[in-house]
Amino acid sequence: MKKLLLAVALFMLGNLSVKAQTNYRAVLGLGIDLYDEATFFGATGTYFFFR
């Protein structure tokens, strides 16, 4: 059973690396800075008009 779970986990990790190469047009993100007793949040966004 452990070998089967390991094989499935490795397969899923390999599959994720292939999907990381897909093209995208828009992306949104959130940046969090936890440095020097102050916490800052910032939204980021990118949009590509041409590929």
Q: For residue 40, how many C-alpha atoms fall within 13 Å in the half-sphere facing its CB? A: 5
pLDDT of residue 51: 63
pLDDT in tens, 3-41: 888 888 877 776 655 555 567 788 888 888 777 767 778
pLDDT of residue 41: 81
Residue 9 Cα distances to 18, 21, 28, angstroms: 15, 20, 28
Tell which wins on pLDDT, 47 or 34.
47
Residue 5 Cα distances to 11, 26, 33, angstroms: 10, 35, 37
Look at residue 31 and tell me if it is in a domain. yes
- How many domains are there within the chain? 1
Q: How far is CA 31 from the centre of its chain?
A: 13
What is the extent of the structural domain holding 36? 24-51
